[in-house]
Amino acid sequence: MPTVIPYIPQRITVHLGSPSSGAANVTVPFIDYVKNVASSEIYPTWEEAALRANILAITSFALNRVYTEFYRSRGYDFDITNSTAIDQYFVNGRSYFDHISRLVDELFNDYLRRPGFVEPLAAKFCNGTTVTCEGLSQWGSQNLALQGYTSNRILRSYYGDVEIVTNAPIRGITSSYPGTPLRRGSSGPNVVVIQVELNRISQNYPAIPKINPVDGIFGSRTEASVRAFQRIFDLTDDGIVGPGTWYELVRLYTAVTDLAELRSQGQQFYSINWSYPSPLQPGNTGDKIRHLQYMLSILSAFIPNIPPLAIDGIYGPDTTNAVLAAQRWFGLPETGTVDDPTWDAIYDQFSGIETTALRNAERFPEEAVPTFTGRTRGIYSRSTTMTQFPARDLHTGQQDPISQEVIR
C-alpha cells in the first residue's frame, strides 16, 4: 500500500455533491466533520450505546476514504463527498448537538478495523428503514441499545469480528505521490512501492510482467512492467511513473485488494513467533498454517513461480501446491510437506522481503513488525536483512531493526 497510513487527519476536504458534479469543496477540521455528519445522520436522544456505535462507524468510513485515497487516486481534489448514495451526509455550516459533540470529542481519534488488518474498516451504514444495506442499520442500532446491547456488541452484530483502535495519532493529510517522477535509474522505497503494486495488480492483469526481484531499483524489468500497465489503462506509454500513473496504480491496487470494501482482504500483520513449529502437512489446520500461508502469499507477489493462496488456516490443495512450488524454487525435495529446511528457506526469503518492502514505518505501524523469540531470534535475526536493498539510506548511528547493532 502506498504511503498513506491509518492516522487521524487534522483536516478533511469534502465535496458538496456527487463526485463528478461542479459543486464546491470545503475543508474542515476532521473532528468537526465527524460532529457534522453525526448530527446530520443520527438523533441526539438515542441511547448512548447507539450513538457511540454510529460515531465509530462514521469515523471509520471517512478514514477508509482517506487511507485508500479513494477519490484523490481518481484525480479528484477532495477526500470524501456529502452524497449519501456513496458517502455520508455532511451539511456545510450546520450546528452540532451538544450531546453528540461531547461524544465525538471523546471518540474522534478511535476507529474500527478487522483483527490483524491495518486499514480502517469501510464501515457502511444506512437508516435501516427506507434504505437497507450491507452494514450497520442506524435505527436497528437504537433498537439493540434499547435491548441493553453495548456499543461494541452493536458493532459486532453488524460488522462481525471488529476491534477498536483507540487514541490514533493525528496529523495532516499527505499525498502518497513522492513529488517527482520515478523512471529508469530511480531507486529507494518509492520504487519498492510501485514494484509491489505492479506485482499484485499483475495477478489480475497477467499481461503485466512480474518484477523479480523486488529490489527498489527502477531497471529494465520495472520499466517494462510500468509500460505494460500504462498501455492497458490508456496512459502515456513512456515507462515513467508521474502523478497520473502513480495514482492509477493506487486506484488499481486498492481495487484488486478490495481495501475500500467491507469484506476487505486487508493488509495483514502479525505479532507472532516465527520459529519452526514441527512438520506441517496436508490436513493440518490452525495458526501455524496461517503463518505459513501468510509467508507464501507474500512470496507469491515477488516470485512468479509460487501461486497465490488464501490465508484460511487449512493445509489443503492450494497450500500444498504453493509449498511444492516453493520447494522447487529453492531446490529442495518436492514433498509438499513443510520440514525444517523448507520452513527455513521460506522464512529466509520472507524475511528479506519483509525487511525490504514491508518494514516501512511510513506505510506500516510498528506493530506490523513480527516479534522474534526463542529459537527464531538466534537463527533468523540476521537471515536476509542484507541480501536485498534495504529501501532506505544507511547513515552513522543507524540501528538494525532486528539485531540492534549500531552501524559505525
CA gap 380, 402 in Å, rounded: 9
> What is the SS3 string spanning 13-73?
EEECCCCCCCCCEEEEEHHHHHHHHHHHHCCCCCCHHHHHHHHHHHHHHHHHHHHCCCCHH
For the record, the C-alpha cell of 354 comes out as: 519483509
Residues whose CB falls within 8 Å of the CB of residue 20, separated by 6 or more in sequence, listed in order: none
Residues whose CB falls within 8 Å of the CB of residue 354, separated by 6 or more in sequence, listed in order: 298, 370
Map residue 159 onto helix, strand or coil: helix
CA gap 196, 176 in Å, rounded: 15
pLDDT for the residue 42: 94
CATH 1.10.101 fits 189-257, yes or no: yes
Residue 107 neighbours by CB distance under 10 Å: 21
CA gap 284, 137 in Å, rounded: 39
pLDDT for the residue 368: 35
CATH 2.60.40.2580 fits 268-408, yes or no: no
Domain pair 189-257 / 268-408, same fold: yes
0.75 exceeded by the pTM?
Answer: no
pLDDT for the residue 366: 35
pLDDT for the residue 390: 43
Residues of the chain scoring pLDDT < 70? 1-6, 170-175, 257-275, 352-408
CA gap 31, 368 in Å, rounded: 27
Long-range contacts of 333-336 (CB under 8 A, 24+ apart): 336/281, 336/282
Neighbour-count burial of 350, counting CB atoms closer than 10 A to its CB (0-12 exposed, 13-18 middle, 19+ buried): buried
Q: Which residue in this structure is represented by grid cell 479513494?
A: 70
Q: Are 396 and 361 in contact (CB under 8 A)?
A: no
Q: Name the CA dihedral angle for 267, 280, 271, 259, rounded to a multiple of 10 degrees.
A: 10
pLDDT for the residue 237: 92
pLDDT for the residue 352: 67
CA gap 256, 243 in Å, rounded: 20
Domain ranges of the chain: 8-171, 189-257, 268-408
CA gap 233, 246 in Å, rounded: 12
Residue 45 neighbours by CB distance under 10 Å: 9
Nearest to 275 by CA among 217, 323, 340: 340
Map residue 351 onto helix, strand or coil: helix
Residues whose CB falls within 8 Å of the CB of residue 307, separated by 6 or more in sequence, listed in order: 300, 318, 321, 322, 325
3-state helix, strand, coil in the chain (%, to 5): 40, 10, 50
